[in-house]
Amino acid sequence: MDTFRYHAPTEIRFGAGLLDELGKHIRGARRVCVVTGRKSAEASGLKERIETLLHGSGVEKVIFGAASPNPPCTEVDAIGARARTARCELVIGVGGGSAMDAAKGVAVGAPNAAPVAELVGTTWPSRALPLLMIPTTAGTGSEVNQYAILTDERIDDKVNLSGPDTYPALALLDPELTLGLPVEYTVDTGVDAFCHAVEGYISRRATPLSDALALEAITRVRHALPNAVARPDDVGARGEMLYAACVAGLVIAQAGTTIVHALGYHLTLRHGVSHGRANAALIAQGLDFNYDAAPTKIGRVYEIFGATRDRAGVEALEAWLHDLGVVTSLAEYGVTDDEIGPYAAYVMTKGNTRSSPRVVNAEDVEWLLRKSL
Ligand SMILES: [Fe+2]
């Protein structure tokens, strides 16, 4: 067995109704910044409930910030400036990946008093504020990993703000908070979790321990996601998905993602496709493309879907996605043949492309994209 490292410093607490215990976990903070999504926390009453719970636990000041989907760095900076002025000691991210990633940006930006876009890829001088995450979707895994995927408007691209201090201190997983998630978002986020597990499993950076977690997540999501879509009010099915997405988040914390996420970024940035669906559009063809470089692992994924490469592994995966309403043809998302050259060149600039088992050049990527049109 090769040398490996496993680092997962986030405390995980799972249980229906656990949000009521929020006050026990605020680490003595008196001033707290809560970052939510744009709409749902307000509409569902969650924002008010959190404010009440915090004040009931001795918190003197609560400031709120709202994060847009694919949160822009400047938006994070604006919330960070308010958190700095209010001298916040803790940042709570409540919502999906955008809210939690923005919360990480706020936790880094506030004590460092610098635009987060300028901190990407650097070692910032002041330690990030402690982070407490409360996911309301089952997908991103951001609650247990170090990544904050933000949009840098200056270069019109996604950037990854991460460091040793961007791991959340605590992930509070309360499946009741995901009950109201509409089917569309349940699928958007659920297939993202699926891609995290599968991509982390086949990644060059995978370890024996991340593999064990990846197989657990893939196996759970296969059944739990259709169940959560069919029975959105079933806290059991929702809990399975929330757990599986968290496990998949632990996988990518170690192993990262692959060319599939790199392919997905373009669909999100240029065609407005949700992050999860953008990855899911290419996961089956992406596995086939990588097969010869990782036949045992990719064969294992097909087996989980009751197939093998010889017995329609790609078709079984695509059928599962189509049953969930996921589109797997790039042309249906508006990708044209003219675009394929620049699209492939963009994919080659992304670090996760190099984590894929298959070593690729731009021509290979163009071939994959044309096959997926
Ligand atoms: Fe993702």
Residue boundaries of the structural domains of the chain: 11-178, 183-371
Tokens of 64: 């709120």
Distance of CA 5 to the CA centre of its chain: 22
Calculate how far, in angstroms, residue 139's C-alpha sits from the geometric centre of ligand 1: 8
- Provide the pLDDT for residue 44: 86
| Ranges under pLDDT 50 in the chain | none
Beta bridge partners of 275: none
- Provide the pLDDT for residue 1: 87
Calculate how far, in angstroms, residue 99's C-alpha sits from the geometric centre of ligand 1: 14
- Provide the pLDDT for residue 311: 82
For residue 111, with 0-12 CB atoms within 10 Å meaning exposed, 13-18 middle and 19 or more buried, which class applies? buried
- Provide the pLDDT for residue 39: 84
Q: What CATH number belongs to 11-178? A: 3.40.50.1970
pLDDT tens digits along 36-72: 999 888 888 999 999 999 999 999 999 999 999 989 9
Domains 11-178 and 183-371 share a fold: no
Calculate how far, in angstroms, residue 350's C-alpha sits from the geometric centre of ligand 1: 14
Calculate how far, in angstroms, residue 52's C-alpha sits from the geometric centre of ligand 1: 32
User: Is the Cβ–Cβ distance between 131 and 171 less than 8 Å?
Assistant: no
Give all strands (DSSP E) within 90-219, no chain letters: 90-95, 131-135, 148-152, 157-161, 170-173
Class of domain 183-371: mainly alpha
- Provide the pLDDT for residue 364: 96
pTM of structure: 0.94
pLDDT tens digits along 276-323: 999 999 999 999 999 999 999 999 999 999 999 888 999 999 999 999
Tokens of 23: 């006050």
Calculate how far, in angstroms, residue 192's C-alpha sits from the geometric centre of ligand 1: 5
- Provide the pLDDT for residue 40: 80
Cα–Cα separations (whole angstroms), residue 148 to 17, 93, 104, 151, 161: 27, 12, 6, 10, 5
* C-alpha–C-alpha distance, residues 94 and 131, integer Å: 11
Calculate how far, in angstroms, residue 229's C-alpha sits from the geometric centre of ligand 1: 19
- Provide the pLDDT for residue 107: 98
Calculate how far, in angstroms, residue 320's C-alpha sits from the geometric centre of ligand 1: 19
